[in-house]
Structure 1
Amino acid sequence: MFSVSLDDISDTRLRRIAEELGVDSAGQKAEVIKAIKDKVSPKKALVLKPDESKNPFTIANVTGIIAVIVASVVLWVNWKGTMNALEKSNTELVKANQDFERKEKESWQIIHIYDIIDRGMQSKSSWSGLTIKEIEVEYQRQVHKEQKIKMTAADLSDDVLRKLLIGMTETGLIIRTIDDKYAVQRALINPRESMEKAQIHTNIQNIVLRFLAIESGKYKVNDLASKMIADNGFPPDDYYICINNLRACKWIAVDDDGKVWDSVHFPGDNKK
């Protein structure tokens, strides 16, 4: 707080104060000051104090300003946190949607590849399975006409198709035959027939393995099939099921020249 003496006030301002108080302001400055003192405080010294109600920097006003600033900071922090949470949620939502689209596409691919092989094997010329080239032609045709699932040029590549076939082979949906074809396996429903077939297949596999224990690396795939079927009277369907099962279990292998070996006598690691 500070005080002001009337002597310190400018002449113009002093006369305006006198007029506001109803005091004659026409005389000399000293006369005007005396008239003001006689009017306002005739017995005590007159001290002018500023109007604190008009001072913007009172404690109450400063406290209010600080409160507003704090509230603004809190609102900004809350807004920023909300925006970060929304951004994170949006990122997670995009990722989840991408994962769903990828799985949906992969399911479509597996279902159609399985169907291509299954339908292809109903033909007499392809009863033992389809080559990767045969699968690829039909697969690309179906990809081109698909409208519900988003497909790209990359989905038509050989690498994608091979990766899908490997995955389906590993899960047991299909098998890769000894002559590099892909086939769907079917099982008999009748338990008695299944047991009889199992015994027949076990017998065929044992005969093939005993033969290859002596004759490994001497016969190509087709030549071995012809000899085994001719010498032992194996039904062709049963023989190919057995020979493919032996290869899937890695009990036999095919070298780079297409000749069949048992796993014990196979000369290298480049098994087909």
Structure 2
Amino acid sequence: TPTISRKKHIIKPITCHYGSGKPAVAIIGSLHGDEPVGKKIIDALSTLKIIKGTLTTIIAHPYALCRKKRFIEEDLNRSFPGNLKGKLEEKIAYNIMKEVKKTNYLIDIHSSTTDIQDAIIIKHQNKKIRKMLDIMKPRRAILMPKGIGDGSLINFFPQALSLEYGRHNSRRTYCRSLNDIKRMLRFFRMIKCKRLEKKKYKSNYYRVYDIEKKPKGFIMKRSLRNFKLVKRGELLGVIKNKEVFSQEDFYPVLFGPKSYPDIMGFKAKRLKRMI
């Protein structure tokens, strides 16, 4: 069996282009191999007729996807902008960057093991990001500042966002993510489809400011919920029967017992508005 380094095909994401001209929209799915919802959405998008502009779809990490593993050597979404002479995921990241360099708008699809729903993560604030948020109108928009998640794909594109709409293999995650992508394509007149139901709620905005490290052996409190305010002194979990308490007030983002190996999740503050 050839070694990973010799299998040149595994560093190539599966890329398809539909239509031509502007706007150029890229949809990226399955940056993590344990998130098959991205591929399923891209399969659905392949059936659409593009009547204006260019739609590029990318199944980012098919090698990890078919093995149902988050990554092979390192997290692909911490490997950008990539390196053709680096580790496996760095090579994949390099090839993805080549595919999307002329993109006007980029959407990166994710799913989670946590209770997070209908959230969009951004790394930049500008008018085009504001337009995307207004079109998709998520329940929650989260700004990841410089210094946190800087190796992610969306860090390298001013008009990019990540969808975190729910759990792995959830029908709800699939439907909500696909509908909001269609909502944006319809707004740009790239597709014809029935008008989607108007969202009646207002988006809530958050700014991540730090991570919460996960000590070895830590067991998280089951009742802890994302976006529900954690108060200073509140119980977070236990280590060998020793209770661990929060040192400050914060809103948890992507907190979960299996979300990350070395951190509990991200700590955020609530904002009145994003931009």
Fold agreement, TM-score > 0.5? no
TM-score by length of 1: 0.25
TM-score by length of 2: 0.25
Higher relative contact order (CA 8 A, sep 6+): 2
Structure showing the higher strand proportion among its residues: 2
